[in-house]
Structure 1
Amino acid sequence: MIRTLQRRTLTLEAPETAGRPAHVSAASGLVAVGPWLYVVADDTLHLAVFPREGNAPGRSVRLFPGELPLEHRARKAAKPDLEALCLLAPFTSCPHGALLAVPSGSTAARQRGALLPLTAEGSLLGETREVDFTALYTQLTRELGPLNIEGAAVSGGRLRLLQRGNGAQGTDALVDLDHERLLRALEGDRTLGPEAVRTVRRWELGHIGGVRLTFTDASPLPDGRIVFTAAAENTRDAYSDGPVTGSAIGVLAPDGSPLFLDAVDAKVKLEGVSAHVERGQVHMLLVADADDPAVPSPLLEAVLEGVPG
């Protein structure tokens, strides 16, 4: 079992909007760049930015215009459901790289993402650029059924999306997009289409407490491996929430084959991971979602030792 340590909770300097708590409550994706931690939450129109070190509150950066309802059910129906955040290497219009916020695609309203250019130091630069995933997700729904993209990581000339197969009809899968086609789309009209898809492979991760484990996030390692998180949530579909029996962390080889999978000691729904290698060990920062707007998301840390290469 993997030991986790809570580093802090994700408190904010101020609420994103009036009537909301001054914390992130539904953290769903995490990227560490330079001195910053970037967190997307699945119930908001904002990105949260935290200092990488210390416990100072974070700040909110707007991704999309408008306002979401405060009431839980109405908010759930209207939210963009950003479930993954990944780091893109430099390209022409983003010479210092960028963050790509990826939507789940689990409803028609959840198919717009966001591109956020970075400075050389890893800070945000300029305005957010909206990205349309509709055409890509229409094709993936034909292949996989109900869609729920929850992880994204760039590795080996591809953007690997992790599909979370909630419920009896859900399918976990690895979807590899061609990196060059992705960048051409982002340089153009920022509309992602089915021509970017290279491979789609279905997956089974096992169970915790009798509940099926499903992908929740991904983070690349320098050698082409990918660290992923998974959660066992007893829910009937990609829209509904349910009780969580546990979470796990795993590693995929560059070709997508499994290398490692183990449960974590904390009974949380892990939703985001940012990993790096230090002295032969995989060090991870992790965020979890309590599915309760009154509860701040925690920032956890963990280390993997002796993972096969």
Structure 2
Amino acid sequence: MKLDLLRTLELEVPTHAGGRRHLSAASGLVVIDGTWYVVGDDALHLAVFDQPAGVEAGAPGRLVRLFAGELPADAKQRKARKPDLETLFLAPAFRGAPHGALLAMGSGSRENRQRLAWLALDEAGTPSARVCEASLVTLYEPLHARFSDLNIEGAFVNEACLYLLQRANAGSPENAVIRYDWAGIAAWLGHGGPAPHPVSITVLDIGRIDDVPLGFTDAKPWRDGSWVFSAVAEATDDSYRDGACLGSVIGIVDRAGRVQRLERIEGDWKVEGLDVTSVPTEPLQLVLVTDADDPDRPAQALRLIWDRSGKSIANPEASA
């Protein structure tokens, strides 16, 4: 599957004192009315790109702080202290967010990676500048008991359920779909207290590349109860250490939880975030963001269009 390069994720200001003016580890993406909202797994901020329109035309992104403090510039120290925000998704209304909210969640792979930040949406669907925080400890507690190496890398709401995606690695090769009743999650977000338990946990085999298991990196709802996901084959035995990326795939899961389509992406891109930018009646159009796994290399934004036969269309203008 071939991709179009849309832009480099450059920033107006660094994400930390003395840092570089780009995101290097983009890990979650939501597009609202042409504006891109991106989280990086090694940052304390949300990056906002207003109407990106191409590699040259896109203005640098601005930052919205999600958590207080500063992260070290040293890569090892930064990795140890980062909140590891791996998911970004839109949620329906709950108390304090009558028009819904934009939520960012930590992976849960370490004690300091169990935080959530959310921004309420206004009537037009624009996120507020006011950030609210919550702990994910009680939500993740039963998941730590189920998974020896918890690593939540995708989240979305679909048909009154919240889905969380557990990412596989070579040492813990199970990908899992964790489903909650959204009403229970909404009550917990709005009122606090103990978080609800999942209503189901389903292991999903999505294959391997060169004997390295593919692991979920993001997902968004599509149509008729189906959802679209990205996954990468990363040669590592746990959720903490990075490894060589052997390739990425895009897949579709139907309402019954079966993988219907799975296609490998051309090149060695490590796709960590995606969103759907087409309406359900059109060919599936996705925008993707990458993790460079190198603080000196900026993350990239990419575009992909699938036609109904499952083929990739590299140039959407030519296919119109």
- Report the TM-score, using the length of structure 2 for normalisation: 0.91
Question: Which deviations, in whole Å up to 9, do the C-alpha atoms of 1:168-204 show, x marking residues without a partner?
Answer: 2342100001100111111112x562x2411001122
Q: Which residue, out of 162, 166, 173, partners 1:163? A: 166
- Out of 290, 293, 296, the position equivalent to 1:294 is 296
Structure 1 counterpart of 2:314: none
Alpha carbons of 1:216 and 1:269: their partners in 2 closer, same or farther (altered >3 Å)?
same
| Paired AA for residue 129 in structure 1 | C
After superposition, give the CA deviation of every residue in 1:240-261 in whole Å (9 maximum; x if it has no partner): 0000010000011123221111
Q: Which residue of 1 aligns with 2:313?
A: none
* Structure 2 match to 1:244: 245
Gaps of 5+ in 1: none
CA distance in 1, matches of 2:37, 2:81: 23
8 Å contact 2:99–2:120 — kept in the other structure?
yes
1:101 aligns with 2:100: no
Code of the residue aligned with 1:182 in structure 2: it is I
- 1:210 Cα deviation from its structure 2 partner: 2.7
Mapping 1:76-115, distance limit 5 Å = 76-115=79-118
SS in 2 for 1:277: coil
Distance 2:115 2:309 in 1: 36
C-alpha distance in 1 between matches for 2:143 and 2:94? 26
Aligned residue for 1:274?
275
Residues matched between the structures, number: 305
Residue equivalent to 1:5: 4
Where do 1:176-215 residues align within 5 Å? 176-189=179-192, 193=195, 195-215=196-216
Q: C-alpha offsets along residues 63-122 of structure 1, whole Å, 9 cap, x if unaligned?
A: 001111111111100000000101012334212221111110001110011111122333
- Unpaired runs of 5+ in structure 2? 311-320
Following the alignment from structure 2 to structure 1, what is the Cα–Cα distance between the partners of residues 223 and 49? Answer: 24
* Residues 1:116 and 2:119 are matched in the alignment: yes
Listed as ranges, the matches of 1:19-58 within 5 Å are 19-54=18-53, 55-58=58-61
CA RMSD of aligned residues (A): 1.5
2:230/2:251 contact within 8 Å kept: yes
Whether the 8 Å contact between 1:103 and 1:113 is mirrored in structure 2 is yes
Contact 2:94 2:187 survives alignment (8 Å): no
Residue 123 of structure 1 deviates from its aligned partner by: 2.5
Q: Matched residues in 2 for 1:51 and 1:255: separation?
A: 36
Q: What TM-score results when the alignment is normalised by the length of structure 1?
A: 0.94
For residues 103 and 122 of structure 1, the distance between their equivalents in structure 2, rounded to whole angstroms, comes to 23
1:307 shift after superposition: 6.1
Equivalent position amino acid for 2:282 in 1: G
Partners of 1:250 and 1:262 within 8 A in 2? yes
> SS at 1:75's partner residue?
helix
Q: Deviations over 1:116-159 (max 9, x none)?
A: 11223333214111121111212111112210000011101111
The answer for the alignment partner of 1:304 in structure 2 is 306
For 2:106, the aligned partner's letter is: P
CA deviations 1:257-307 (Å, max 9, x no partner) are 211111011311100000143453110000010111111100000012226
**What corresponds to 2:75 in structure 1?**
72
Q: SS in structure 1 opposite 2:78?
A: helix
Q: CA 1:217/1:202 → structure 2, altered by over 3 Å: closer, same or farther?
A: same
